[in-house]
Structure 1
Amino acid sequence: MFTTRIAIVVRDDLAVWQKLNVTAFLSSGIAAAVPECIGAPYRDSAGRSYTAMIGQPILVFAAAQADLQRVHRRACEAGLTVAPYVEAMFATGHDAANRAVFAETGIESQLWAGLALHGERKAVDRTVKGLKLHP
């Protein structure tokens, strides 16, 4: 039983490729911010080594834009670790441009594509309360 939880909330009206892209980027954000969530490297039966990954389950939820606004507000109020992805980031080509477009818009006006959350299990559960797991 994990005392922490990782949740990714992805906007439900995105194209499938966008949902997958957002989920991958947000997972990397949590891995970078919370290195203790990384498990041990993998090794196959032939002895080949593979990279370590996040060592706990990640719950992925679908949400409308209004739900993402609410989740963002709750996550900030709860002091959770938050990784952001906004719609404008789809039009950029590199990390510095992503940070620039994110910084251009006020939080209340952001068009969220997704958010990743990490923190104490009950706090994350309260933050995503009412959302459905992504189908």
Structure 2
Amino acid sequence: MTQVDSLEKSAKYKIAVVLREDLQGWQKLNVTAFLVSGVTAGAMVQGLTYYDRSGYKYLPMFQEPVMTYSAPLEGLRSIADRARVRDIPFAIFTDELFLTYDDEANRQAVSAFYSEDLNLAGLAFRCPKNAADKLLKGFELMS
């Protein structure tokens, strides 16, 4: 797939981040950073490299819109259930991950809970816009 094909395909997709509404400011930033790293894994979501007038090169960024929503814990669980039923992959961040310091400990913390019992601080996914809209129905953009 060429870069142009990738750009055209991405116009039909959306990246969504949903954060639990009671998180502190630093937690929202931390959770968002980790979640979007999961969304980009293996996906063709980057645009083209940036150059300034001096010719200095900068890393590419997402070529798709990133929409950030807020929801209570039960809302996050509802969105997660909808995604599972539709077989849409998503990244999660749980409260327990605020207390861990490496990837192995993170995975162990998540594996200690059943899906329905996860203490979700946030989740993120990338999928076609119409599917994303169905997952997010009833939830508002973060203000």
- Structure 1 or 2, whichever has the larger Rg, is 2
Structure 2 portions without partners, runs of 5+ = 1-7
Q: What's the % identity of the aligned pairs?
A: 35
Q: CA RMSD in A?
A: 1.1
SS in 2 for 1:60: strand
Amino acid at match of 2:25: V
2:35 to 10, 26, 35: 26
2:78 to 54, 67, 70: 70
C-alpha separation in 2, matches of 1:33 and 1:81? 12
Residues 57-96 of structure 1: pairs in structure 2 closer than 5 A: 57-96=65-104
Partner in structure 2 of residue 14 of structure 1: 23
Partner in structure 1 of residue 121 of structure 2: 113
Amino acid at match of 2:125: L
1:3 to 5, 12, 17: 12
Amino acid at match of 1:65: L
User: What stretches of structure 1 move > 6 A for 4+ residues in a row?
Assistant: none
SS in 1 for 2:40: helix
Per-residue deviation, 1:31: 1.0
The normalised TM-score by structure 2 is 0.90
C-alpha separation in 2, matches of 1:40 and 1:13? 36
SS in 2 for 1:32: coil
Per-residue deviation, 1:81: 2.2
Tell me the alpha carbon deviations over residues 55-114 of structure 1, each in whole angstroms, 9 at most, x when there is no partner.
111000000000000000001111212011111000001111111101111111111000
Tell me the alpha carbon deviations over residues 7-36 of structure 1, each in whole angstroms, 9 at most, x when there is no partner.
1100010110000111111111111142x1
Amino acid at match of 2:78: R
Structure 1 portions without partners, runs of 5+ = none
Partner in structure 1 of residue 112 of structure 2: 104
C-alpha separation in 2, matches of 1:53 and 1:99? 27
